[in-house]
Structure 1
């Protein structure tokens, strides 16, 4: 089966302290983000019911993952760059598990060349598990390991992808390398953005509650991973992102 792909790259400058409209933000961004869509979007469907917290008893697709919302899985990089044979085995297991859990959009926060890419495997794995590859999307929004997003626009764009997929009733998976720092930061921002968390502190408490049930928590007890990442989530304000009358802080 042939798969149509489209790639969009935007080269941008660091975000200023204010923004005029969503339409103009692409020219202001400093961060390169690559979006690969394995084909066209499906037509709009009936809007899903309001977002609610996910029961911790909902099975996790892979051990180092958790459900942040009914439409968002947070996880580690779904590829194991070991020996070629081992890499293929583990990659198949992780990608298959995520796809079978309903994931149709992958949001990759790693930098180019940080790890071996997995998106070339998506079409094959979709076919194996009986999913139309045209329904699967891959987006790359690079953030440096243990660091913060380089621009306001980058986070705005990630929030836009998450919002778009939730409105279409699609499940997304967001990940970095270990699923700890960068992933926790974006999950925290989204919990505030979508209204599940009342503020950043509330979002951090929710993440901590889910994270303690993740296998990796035994070695890495905190998500997000660094103090600045925690502060980024703590001070994140939903109104600044969804109301064009507000200045972006």
Structure 2
């Protein structure tokens, strides 16, 4: 009986541990009600580095620390891609610090594109408010399978953390979407910018071999993203 009870207790402990690991977010779990971000002027003169932001004294916290105004204002889509992302992360709302969430407004001109990119620290859930969008994401190696769908007003789509994804306005008019991300600072790596616009540039030998194209093609692409 004792052996059976011990086995049962171990099994329960393993289950709780597994559930805890699965529930753990990509941002540190908060240990207090809030941790309003503040820049420490002495931070860069010390040997201590923080994975995130310092916390303001709770006695000095104000309602404004949890507020952002102006997300109703359309973003400027007058650019090569015809899109604009207004990201509301911990840098815009200090009260998001340690809470593991952020928000974005995405504006698209007709046939505007939010180019292939990834968020290294957050899953994205997107809802279309106006217009229609062709969206998709690609799985990791070796399959590189494309999951794609045309979304309309009220449709919701999820882009898993770290996977390359995109949105393209396939309508004749402007489109609008909002996205939630599972990080206070999800980060964005736009694939073309990172590959062809890195500073300093990636070696031509590396890129010509990787993309199996002539060196002049790579040079032209690097000039576009320099």
TM-score, normalisation: structure 2 = 0.26
Q: Which one has the bigger strand percentage?
A: 2
The structure with the largest alpha-carbon Rg is: 2
Larger relative contact order, structure 1 or 2 (CA cutoff 8 Å, min sep 6) = 1
Q: Which one has the bigger helix percentage?
A: 1
TM-score, normalisation: structure 1 = 0.24
